[in-house]
Amino acid sequence: MKSYDHNKIEKKWQKEWEKKGLYKTPDTVKGKDNFNLLVEFPYPSGNLHVGHWYAFALPDILARAMRMQGKNVLYPIGFDAFGLPAENAAIKNKLNPRKWTEGNIKYMKEQIRSMGTSFDWSREVQTIDPGYYKWTQWMFLQFYKNGLVYRKETAVNWCPKDKTVLANEQVVDGKCERCDSEVIQKQMLQWNIKITDYADRLIDDLEPLDWPKEIKESQKNWIGRSEGAEIDFPLIFANDKKYKFVMLHGYKSKGESPRWKWLKSELEKFGHEVVIPTLPNTEHPKENEQVAAALNATTYDENTVLVGHSLGGLVAMKVAERLNNKIARLVIVASAMNPAYPGYVERPFRKDFDWDIDVEKIKAIAPNRVVLSDVQEITRAPYLKDLAKQLDAQLVETKAVKEHFMADKEPDMLMWLRPTIRVFTTRADTLFGATYLVLAPEHPWIMLALDEKHNVLSNKSEVKTYVEAAKKKTELERQTNQKEKTGVELKGIKAINPATGKEIPVYVADYVLGHYGTGAVMGVPAHDERDNEFANKYGIAIVETLEPVVVVTKGGDAIKAGQPFTDRNSILAIVKHWSEEKYLAVKYLPTDVKGFVSGGIEQNEDAVAAGKREIREETGYVHAKFIRKLGSTIHCKYFSDNYQKNMLVHFAPLLFELEDDTRGDVEPHEASRHEVTWMTEKEMDTFINREDMRIAWQRANGSSFYGGDGILANSGPFDGMTTEKGEKAIAQKFGSAKKTYKLRDWIVSRQRYWGVPIPMIHCPKCGAVPVPDKELPVKLPEVKDYLPEGSGKSPLAKAKKWVQVKCPQCKGKAERETDTLDTFVDSSWYFLRYTDPKNKKKFADAKKMQNWMPVDLYSGGAEHTTMHLLYSRFWHKALFDLGLVKDAEPYKRRMNRSIILGPDGQKMSKSHGNVIDPDEVVARLGADTVRMYLAFIGPYNEVSNYPWNPDGVVGVRRFLERIVRATEFVQDDASELLTTELQHTIKKVGNDVKALKFNTAISQLMIFLNLLEKTKHIGRTQWATLLLLLAPFAPHLAEELWSVAGHDTSIHLEPWPSYDEKLLLEKEMPIAIQINGKTRGEVFVASDATKETVEAAAREAVAARLEGKKILRTIVVPGRLVNFVVEE
């Protein structure tokens, strides 16, 4: 072959491969193991960029090599084709988004084929195909039928001008990207999927997976599991109103049970009166007897709160029916069910009660009504929901400590009797230091306090203004855009710290999020940086309850494992200069500890006296004036060079100021151990090298918080406990253990046209009804335009004929759901469809899935590490729980690729003018060149950023041209000079490809070519081996050279060459090659090679990378590495 016409060669072989169906993958091949190699299917934006090449062409190297190595490789492709860009293009250009999308797909398919990738196009999946999204809808309905899907009001970004819901990415600086209007938060009914039910499994099941640590951590951080405690803070109001609580027990219960006694005690602490009538005949209760007992037990008036639990709930309603004057509130807790309701369990008292209630009379007597439901009671919960609706009562759905609220302590019952704020904290050990509470703007209590019925806040207008402003901010803005935390005190109320019994202020602040924890946090300014800033701004008390504990594990004073500790009380003295803004810096020479004067407190000596003595002994300064103590004791575990044992030292941190420069002599022993200098504040910041010293220094400079672990102080009976013990003990005493998650349920509703219609029907009689399976798929209808409907509904609402249907249950008039599904739903199961893409009866056949699942390797972008990976893992687990797939995890191994930057080192963008058009480069230099350049740019198994280097691309092209010219060196007989190097090359390229180190594999091919060009002789069998090694990287050129060499079959159907270990030189060793400290290759040299030989071999191996660069110096570390330092 005389010339390298890449255009002719590449088109020729692409056509030939497609004609022969070379990459069509059978489900099984006798004698071969299956390998499922998955890449993220692309969105059809209309044009491939360099990132697509990096995503598809490089895993293709692995796919091709593994086929040659005996695997039956599935390498499928498809298009994630629904989405907002298509809808925006439709609105802008007044065309159907399907037409726009399908046109883009057609164009991009040709571009992908031009890469020479070995995708199996017979398994192509498109999410816009009704044959695909039929099964997306079907799975959604399975989840709905199994309780994983529900509908509720959720906050959305609303543009008041366009009258539409905006995705988060459409909100820029709090404004609509389309019209620049200020975006507000609006509540809308949205479909949700209960991903939170899987939060623990999504974290715990990561452990055995062969995934990089960084990806696992990203998943864990996104879920945000926190283990802590929920603690209730009672509220008191300015009017300090006291109530009479009348509490009615249930069937077979007694008023003197531990639960009722506990409730009575807690309410009486705040001056409330509690009456618990003994209801007669609890084994065989009768309505008239029990109602009479309740009425006769006390009087009822506007200060009465009537509470009924279980059957007592029905009795309470019957009591309310017979009252003639209003009461303050009616609280129904897990009321007995009406026998007429589905799921009723027969009770002996059924006929002794009238189960009909006078709803209007009850509403008139009790203007404030609450129904408390335990979600664990699956049968009773729906009844209570309906009961709350009948009574127009507030429904509180919660989880009781013991089902049916039967535990000795039921905090949720108390919470709805006595005004309470429940907080979640991961630091229960700091409860005694909680000096204020903060509520999220969307906290239910805030909403209640701001409604028209309540006037508990004296600054209601101020609070309302703040809350309204918070609604205009996105969650991200509330968390990241505030240099200074803002808030408003809720005047007219106080909370009671349950540990100290002290009143503390309550604030509303938008840095607290309503969905995280309970939407309320306790402020502990002594032990949290954010709380400290807030407290300092608003003048809130700061109370230390935690003494720091520092454990030294590095350096000359690191603790010695296995040795005991000796306690000692000591001082740590910060000494200020008498006239300058400087401090005394002390370096302890034996262990290189840098900080301040320190030393033990002698018997009958106080801390201040000890401090003055130590200052004099270590520095010679005589006149030290005590200024103040710097907070609580600081404990430190370290190894003492002086005493030669582990010490647990309890430092009293003190601040002194010298009165003058009077200085005496320092004993030689002390002088030899301490180096003393004066330093500025800024110099001290960098000088200090031990944490206990730094804590004292921070306190001296006004920072009064410590957020680490420690020993409890100012915490009553818990003083002296460690953080770990204190957290458990305080949580047990004042609250209950609780896990919370940042993860929220997955909102899948989208008010868009171009998406999968949600297969639900809304019937005024039957409620939400699933579309019957036989009517799937629910296809997208045609609409006149794709602009939002105006009320917040999607453009589908305009398709009136499509919307109006019959209810599948009652056959009455009903309407279709007009929201479409989040596109992350489409991509949560596409890999399953690849296993059986044409199946019309199932989403995929179980046997076919078993052939290919779980995915052996999933290669993707770091930007999908959290949401897509998390959603698809959840989706798969839900399918697993329903028995629809056999594995709980979809991917055995996941790896993220790097990012290709522009030639200027910045992210490619039109605004930067640095976008590389791969089509142009392919036309000029060839697809094989682009593939090999991207493979050579850096290791594919590591995440990094690689700037596009035009010279580097040209260098790879020259390498391929040299391969072509090397055909003239082919002879019948083998070259003995190449034998050993070829064996090395076979071994190294094979191993590196498996490890996704394509760059070092190519380096080895270059090394071999260099040797070949020197020998000018290669045997035909050796040449064939070289082409086989080249084939995964440059498939077109390798195929052409294979054909020219006289072979009739495709090179890509040939087996991978084997190597003979005996022919490998025993005395050769690998040398890492670095450029500016980053590994860019590897070369094998003889173990006795000279420094010059090693450098020369390394220079040859990375010649393409060094081309056009100025080498400033070369560092050769014998036996290890060569590092070329080049000018950037």
Q: List the binding residues for ATP.
A: 910
Q: What residues form the annotated binding site?
A: 910
The DSSP string of 718-768 is: GTT-BHHHHHHHHHHHHEEEEEE-S---EE-EE--SSSPBP-EEEETTTEE
Contact 620, 586 (CB under 8 A): no
Side-chain-side CA neighbours of residue 834 (13 Å): 28
Which residue's structure tokens are 């009616």?
330
Supply 627's token pair.
């200024």
Q: Report how far residue 25's alpha carbon sits from residue 852's, in angstroms, rounded to the nearest whole number.
A: 11
Residues sharing a CB contact under 8 Å with residue 884, sequence separation 6 or more, in sequence order: 142, 843
Supply 568's token pair.
């000692």
Q: Report how far residue 353's alpha carbon sits from residue 314's, in angstroms, rounded to the nearest whole number.
A: 9
Beta-strand relationship, 506-508 and 436-439: parallel
Q: Report how far residue 183's alpha carbon sits from residue 168's, in angstroms, rounded to the nearest whole number.
A: 11
Q: Is 979 left (phi over 0), alpha (psi -120 to 50) or beta?
A: alpha
Q: Report how far residue 44's alpha carbon sits from residue 80's, in angstroms, rounded to the nearest whole number.
A: 7
Going by the DSSP 8-state scheme, the letter that residue 244 receives in this structure is: E
Classify 769 as helix, strand or coil.
strand
Going by the DSSP 8-state scheme, the letter that residue 1107 receives in this structure is: T
In order of 585, 661, 712, 725, 1056, the CA distances from 578 in angstroms are: 15, 7, 36, 44, 80
Classify 651 as helix, strand or coil.
strand
Residue count (the chain)? 1128
Which residue's structure tokens are 């179980």?
846
Q: Report how far residue 217's alpha carbon sits from residue 288's, in angstroms, rounded to the nearest whole number.
A: 62
Beta-strand relationship, 645-658 and 624-629: antiparallel
Side-chain-side CA neighbours of residue 1027 (13 Å): 28
Side-chain-side CA neighbours of residue 348 (13 Å): 8
Classify 814 as helix, strand or coil.
strand
The DSSP string of 211-222 is: --HHHHHHHHHH
Residues sharing a CB contact under 8 Å with residue 625, sequence separation 6 or more, in sequence order: 656, 657, 658, 659
Side-chain-side CA neighbours of residue 1124 (13 Å): 24
Buried b (16+ CB within 10 A) or exposed e, 434-443: bbbbbbbbbb
Going by the DSSP 8-state scheme, the letter that residue 19 receives in this structure is: H
Torsion, Cα of 393, 394, 399, 401 (10° steps) = -80
Is residue 419 exposed (0-12), middle (13-18) or buried (19+ Cβ within 10 Å)?
A: middle
Q: Report how far residue 967's alpha carbon sits from residue 252's, in angstroms, rounded to the nearest whole number.
A: 97
In order of 3, 104, 963, the CA distances from 968 in angstroms are: 12, 44, 10
Q: Cα 526 from chain centroid?
A: 29
Supply 602's token pair.
């002698």
Q: Report how far residue 721's alpha carbon sits from residue 217's, in angstroms, rounded to the nearest whole number.
A: 31
Q: Cα 1030 from chain centroid?
A: 41
Q: Phi and psi for 745 in degrees, rounded to 5?
A: -60, 150
Q: Report how far residue 210's alpha carbon sits from residue 206's, in angstroms, rounded to the nearest whole number.
A: 9
Residue 586 is inside which H or E element, if any? strand 582-588
